[in-house]
């Protein structure tokens, strides 16, 4: 679905590039296969006392990525708010086809989302921060099934991580019944060697990202 606003032609290509960045295609920025963009995340798992309903996301981009994202935007006082909102809307719209880079499982079964809401982009000095709410398609009833959450770029060219344990939290109602465990990635030496050996023109490998990402397990007693 197309958005209901019109972007200047010179912005369209850059917005596409920003979206590509968000799904891991910054392959030309370095000669070795390691992250070229860094995103510090905060996530609140939301719900009531009986269900998980969605995720409140805050993604802070590194200074270089932020500068690239905002390059050419009219950030004058009178136009800044609209420019940032237009950019946020475009990023959110394009991420719908990539599951918002968010993967949530009940056991081995993926849990489906509805469309994200309340996308908002802010600039604070040299960094840009994207926030949004990602609701589940249907509330997920609390049970003793193990739940797993991962947020990552499949190709490994964007490093997305929770920098501290308190960067991911349960809403107050859920915290009465559930607890979280943050698990760091443990790639093997062979996997590390493979990634570092990839040439800059290597074919995109979307099996890499999951090997190098943190995961959250959620255990509920209900």
CA–CA gap between residue 142 and residue 44 (Å, rounded): 16
Q: Which of 12-16, 63-67, 186-190, 210-214 has the lowest mean pLDDT?
A: 12-16
C-alpha closest to that of 203 among 155, 161, 164: 155
pLDDT at 55: 98
Band of pLDDT at residue 113, cut at 50, 70 and 90: very high
Q: What angle do CA 216, 138, 21 make, to 5 degrees?
A: 55
pLDDT at 26: 33
SS (H, E, C) 24-49: CCCHHHCCCCCCCEEEEEEEEEEECC
Per-residue pLDDT of 135-177, as tens digits, reads 999 999 999 999 999 999 887 678 899 999 999 999 999 999 9
Cα torsion 189, 194, 196, 199 to 10°: value is 170
DSSP code of residue 156: S
pLDDT at 205: 67
CB 191 within 8 A of CB 125: no
pLDDT at 27: 31
Strands (E) in 101-153, as ranges, are 102-106, 109-110, 117-124, 127-141, 147-151
Residue 199: exposure state from Cβ atoms within 10 A (0-12, 13-18, ≥19): exposed
C-alpha closest to that of 163 among 74, 11, 58, 26: 58
pLDDT at 6: 37
Distance of CA 28 to the CA centre of its chain: 21
| pTM for the predicted model, two decimal places | 0.81
Q: Is the pLDDT of residue 199 over 80?
A: no
């Amino acid at each position: 679905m197309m958005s209901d606003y019109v972007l200047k032609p010179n912005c369209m290509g850059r917005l596409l590039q920003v979206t590509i960045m968000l799904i891991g295609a910054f392959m030309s920025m370095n000669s070795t296969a390691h992250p070229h963009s860094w995103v510090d995340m905060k996530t609140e798992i939301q719900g009531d006392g009986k269900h998980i309903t969605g995720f409140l996301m805050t993604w802070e981009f590194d200074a270089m990525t932020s500068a690239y994202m905002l390059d050419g935007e009219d950030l004058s006082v009178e136009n800044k708010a609209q420019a940032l909102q237009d950019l946020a809307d475009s990023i959110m719209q394009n991420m719908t086809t990539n599951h918002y880079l968010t993967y949530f499982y009940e056991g081995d079964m993926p849990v489906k989302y509805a469309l994200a809401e309340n996308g908002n982009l802010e600039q604070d000095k040299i960094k840009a921060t994207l926030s949004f709410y990602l609701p589940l398609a249907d509330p997920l009833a609390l049970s003793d099934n193990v739940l797993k959450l991962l947020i990552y770029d499949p190709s490994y060219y964007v490093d997305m991580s929770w920098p501290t344990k308190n960067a991911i939290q349960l809403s107050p109602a859920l915290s009465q019944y559930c607890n979280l465990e943050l698990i760091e990635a443990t790639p093997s030496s062979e996997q590390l060697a493979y990634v570092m050996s990839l040439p800059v023109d290597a074919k995109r490998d979307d099996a890499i990202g999951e090997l190098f990402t943190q995961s959250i397990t959620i255990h509920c007693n209900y």
